[in-house]
Amino acid sequence: MFSSDTISKRVGVKYPIIQAPMYGVSTVQMVAAAARADCLGSLALADLSTDESIELIRETRKLTDKPFAVNIFVHHIPEITDELKDKFGKTKLFLEQLAKDSNIEVTLPHLEDLNINSYHDLVDLVIEENCKILSFTFGNLDPQSIQKLKEHGVTLIGTCTSVSEALLLEKSGIDIICVQGTEAGGHRGTFDPDHILQIGGLSLLSQVYDQVQVPLIYAGGIYNGKTLQAVKELGAQGFQVGSLLLTSQESALQPFEKERLKRVREDEIILTKSFSGRYARGVKNKYIEAVEDSEHILPYPYQNKLTNALRKAAKSIQNTDFVGIWTGQSIHNYSEFSTEEILRNLIFQVQGD
């Protein structure tokens, strides 16, 4: 069924199935398990420091000698203005009171204590650590970084959520484009964090396929052989799966979070900016209902950094009302098998069609 091997050959794997780089959920063990299934694992570095990223890259290499992608955030970092300082302070107080009212003890950080990292250091790290596949989201790499990475033989995979973003990625020389449909769980890869296009993934994939020439990966709603076959018919040559692996053995989610996912209803899955300042699709809870339509949402990454301690505190007491549990629109039987077994089962379903 995997008739085209363009992406497989480019990234050095047998099957063009990509384990999604779900920061906070995926682990080095998940990356290695995806590699054992002859698929492409993705190591989520997000906006970590260089030291943290080096540790994760080297830890992954201890577990597998097969190719894997590293994934980074290439977001714009808003300038710290007096207005932002004022809003940060008010949001901090609001969230601390909200936590207190729900019997969660937490002290959130001050603005000056946040560790905000630019992606440029990670670009240099990718080269220094001889990583050969770099995927990225939340925007596009700058021209100098693209040139530098290409000079060192790095395959670049950009993320789009619109035709215009896909065209920008292609024009800048990105090798492969991941088309992320609205069905996808977690954060939207949209370049503009304040603008969310309400176009379904299948419509988007079909339009992008008609307008760009580079190979396409599709992400959003793939959970079995039939859904994979559907996006293949629309032009996808690679298939990224994330929600399928949320409750796998290698997932970083705790048992109480996995159990919440298994009880989720379709009307509970929503897009929200409340946790991070960027739209993400996940399970509605008390925190989201209190914050989503309020004035207490800072731009990314400040909201994300501010709420991190709150999410950790809630996780420590197994409180699902104050953690971000991300998942896509395709509700399915969330399996607790290993990532390798889940992916091999998907491959079996596809090859049996």
Cβ-Cβ contacts under 8 Å for 314 (sequence gap 6 or more): 104, 320, 321, 322, 323
Residue-wise pLDDT for 251-284, tens only, equals 999 999 999 999 999 999 999 999 999 999 999 9
Q: Is 110 helix (H, G, I), strand (E, B) or coil?
A: coil
The Cα 248–Cα 340 span in angstroms is: 9
Give the pLDDT band (50/70/90) at residue 1.
low
Residue 353 has pLDDT above 60, yes or no: no
pLDDT at 196: 78
User: Looking at the chain, which residues constitute the CATH 3.20.20.70 domain(s)?
Assistant: 1-77+117-251+332-353
DSSP for residue 40: B
Q: Is residue 79 classed exposed, middle or buried when 0-12, 13-18 and 19+ CB atoms within 10 A define those classes?
A: exposed
What's the mean pLDDT in 70-95? 97
**224 and 346 in contact (C-beta within 8 Å)?**
yes
Closest CA to 278 of 307, 243, 252, 254: 307
Q: Is 185 helix (H, G, I), strand (E, B) or coil?
A: coil
Percent of the chain at pLDDT exceeding 70:
99
The Cα 113–Cα 130 span in angstroms is: 32
Identify the architecture of domain 1-77+117-251+332-353 in CATH. Answer: Alpha-Beta Barrel (3.20)
Percent of the chain at pLDDT exceeding 90:
95
pTM metric for this prediction: 0.97
Please give the full DSSP string across 115-178, using - where no structure is assigned.
----THHHHHHHHHTT--EEEEESS---HHHHHHHHHTT-EEEEEESSHHHHHHHHHTT-SEEE
Give the pLDDT band (50/70/90) at residue 194.
confident
Q: Is residue 277 classed exposed, middle or buried when 0-12, 13-18 and 19+ CB atoms within 10 A define those classes?
A: buried
Closest CA to 114 of 49, 188, 50, 24: 49
The two three-digit tokens of residue 48, written as one number: 């970590």
Closest CA to 199 of 212, 190, 186: 190
